[in-house]
Structure formats: structure tokens, C-alpha cells
Amino acid sequence: MALSIFIIQLALRFLLFPVYLLNFLGLWNWICKNWFPYFIRNFSVTYNKQMASKKRELFSNLQEFEGPSGKLSLLEVGCGSGTNFQFYPPGCRVTCVDPNPNFKKFLIESIAENRHLQFEGFVVAAGENMHSIADGSMDVVVCTLVLCSVKNQEQFLREVCRVLRPVSWGVRRTG
């Protein structure tokens, strides 16, 4: 048993050696930051095909959260390449936050494909530090496949609460 564990550990070290070497040389973060957006864009196409009905269901009631302006202000944290855009309601004002500036190119492409939205901007920031987003300025915050990569989930949730518009919980708009 000890021999088989040793062999497995040795095999893993061998397979991961290029990653360790790239990290040691200071290249791993650069590679991840520059190539990850391409991977996510391609992965998201397949993922959205599998999850489309669930996403439609989950995002179907977003319009109910419209602010006093009659428009929905939505903040997507960890927006990636903008694959959720197709599920947002028409006229929705979308602001995107992502720590990787290399997603901007793909966001612009996604906005061009989703003309039913009003793109407000792209902020390069971590979810735990969204200080450039004004307090109480958003009706909805969306984050999908993000919480696993947030370094401080408590701080992230504090930031989400800070940017959300205060609401009266007993009052619900009907149409």
C-alpha cells in the first residue's frame, strides 16, 4: 500500500512539475490571466447549453426587482465573458466586475450579441473590493461560478449588501 501511494505521489509530482516550474519562473499567473478568458469563453458555450433551462428559470423573475427608475440595474460579479447576458431581461442596465482585465474583449463581443441590454461598464476589481461601485446603486447582484474562487466570502457578501439598493421587504411592486 505504501509503495502504491509513493508511486501515485511521484506520478503527480512529475505531471505537475511544469506548473511548479512556470510558477517559480513567475510565468504561471501571466499565463492564467491571459489564457483563462479564452478557456472560459469556450467552456461557457457548452455550459450554457446544458444549463439554459435552469438559468432561464433562475433569472425569470429579475424584472420584479426594478428600482424606482423603472429600469433594472444589475451588477454581475465575476462576469467572465458575459455568458449570462442572454438570460437578462430587455432594458436591463448591466455593470460587470471581474478581477481579470482580459475579459473585456469578450464582454464587448457579448454585449454586441445582446443588444437588448444597456451596458453600463466594466470594472476591474475583486468581488471583495468593489469600492468603485456606489452604495445602494444596484437592484440585483448576480454571481455564478464565482464564490469558489473568492478569497474572503464574508467580505464579498458585505460588498454585495453595500451595493444593493435598500428595499422595503413588505412592499412588492405588481404590474
The residue ranges of DSSP E strands in the chain, in sequence order, are 73-77, 93-98, 118-124, 140-142
Distance, in Å, from the CA atom of 157 to the CA atom of 148, rounded to the nearest integer, reads 13
The contacts found for 48-55 with CB under 8 angstroms, 24 or more apart, are 48/83, 48/86, 55/84, 55/87
Residue 59 in contact with residue 72, Cβ under 8 Å? no
Per-residue model confidence (pLDDT) at position 38: 81
At 68 the pLDDT is 84
Set of cell numbers at residue 26: 513567475
**Domain spanning 32-163: CATH 3.40.50.150:** yes
pLDDT > 50? residue 171: no
SS3 (DSSP) at 19: helix
Residue 157's closest CA among 167, 166, 147, 148? Answer: 147
| Domain spans of the chain, in order of start | 32-163
Q: Which of 98, 85, 65, 30 is nearest to 173 (CA)?
A: 65
Interval 49-69: pLDDT, tens = 999 999 999 999 999 999 888
The secondary structure of 62-89 as a DSSP string is GGGG--TTSS-EEEEET-TTTTTGGGSP
Give yes or no for residue 114 having a pLDDT over 80: yes
Give the pLDDT score at 78: 92
- Predicted confidence at residue 142, as pLDDT, reads 95
What is the grid cell recorded at 142? 448576480
pLDDT tens digits for range 76-92: 999 989 999 999 999 99
22-40 confidence digits (pLDDT tens) = 888 888 788 878 888 888 8
